[in-house]
Amino acid sequence: MTTPRHNGPLHAAPRISRRGFLAKSAAASGVMFLPAGMASAAGHGLEKVVHQLGWVKSIQFGGHFAAIEQGYFEEEGIEAEFVAGGPGGIGTDVAVGTGQAMTSDTDVEGTVRARISGIPVKAFGAIMQKAPGAIMSLAENPLTTLADFPGKTIALPDGLRPQLTALMVTADVDP
């Protein structure tokens, strides 16, 4: 790892504990998983923390990589590794459940699917209090309530289908 470089206000950044790191990572990454009872790995005097990203390494995770480059993790005794996710990659729940990663980020549906599948994970942080999903329709044929859905074709990712079906069943609307 390179020697930490501090310029200007970065030098005044407060120190962060491992718990603080995990909490701030949760805030930066979205919902994260933590396996029940997972032991940490140690190496070179640093505690290794492997985090499975929910997508490929890109600008959305820039803060993680800047923190590595600036030496913030090392200052806290953490050797941080961020593993790329994305198409064809290992699922975030599988990475945590099999011990390949200590933490990961996913959505609420991913957490629920993991728990239903018996994967011992816990959500311990969230970037948003409410999911930003929305259903849109054309102005000339608007959908304004769930009662407007029957007979319509709704395009959505497979992972969201159980959530929408549950909403419709709860509202006594035939999915």
User: 105-136 pLDDT, tens per residue?
Assistant: 887 777 888 888 888 888 888 766 776 677 88
Domain count, the chain: 2
- Mean pLDDT check: name the lowest of 4-8, 41-45, 65-69, 169-173: 4-8
Tell whether 129 is covered by a domain: no
75 confidence band (pLDDT: 50, 70, 90): very high
Do both 57 and 112 map to the same domain? yes
Do both 138 and 109 map to the same domain? no
- What single-letter amino acid sits at 24? K
**In the prediction, which pLDDT does 93 show?**
85
Do both 18 and 80 map to the same domain? yes
Range of the domain at 174: 134-175
Average pLDDT, the chain: 76
44 confidence band (pLDDT: 50, 70, 90): low
Do both 92 and 142 map to the same domain? no
**In the prediction, which pLDDT does 46 show?**
93
> In terms of pLDDT, which residue wins out, 95 or 159?
95
Do both 99 and 160 map to the same domain? no
* Cα separation values, 146 from 117, 125, 132, 149, Å: 29, 30, 18, 5
Tell whether 51 is covered by a domain: yes
Q: How far apart are CA 145 and CA 66, in angstroms?
A: 44
**In the prediction, which pLDDT does 17 show?**
59
Cβ neighbours of residue 79 closer than 8 Å, sequence gap 6 or more = 1, 43, 44, 46, 47, 48, 49, 73
Do both 119 and 170 map to the same domain? no
Q: How far apart are CA 172 and CA 153, in angstroms?
A: 18
Tell whether 82 is covered by a domain: yes
Do both 144 and 89 map to the same domain? no
Do both 167 and 99 map to the same domain? no
Q: For position 39, which CATH number holds? A: 3.40.190
Residue that has been written with the tokens 């699917």 in this structure: 113
Do both 48 and 83 map to the same domain? yes
Tell whether 23 is covered by a domain: yes
Angle, alpha carbons 54-55-60 (nearest 5°): 100
35 near 99, Cβ under 8 Å?
Answer: yes
Do both 117 and 143 map to the same domain? no
Do both 88 and 153 map to the same domain? no
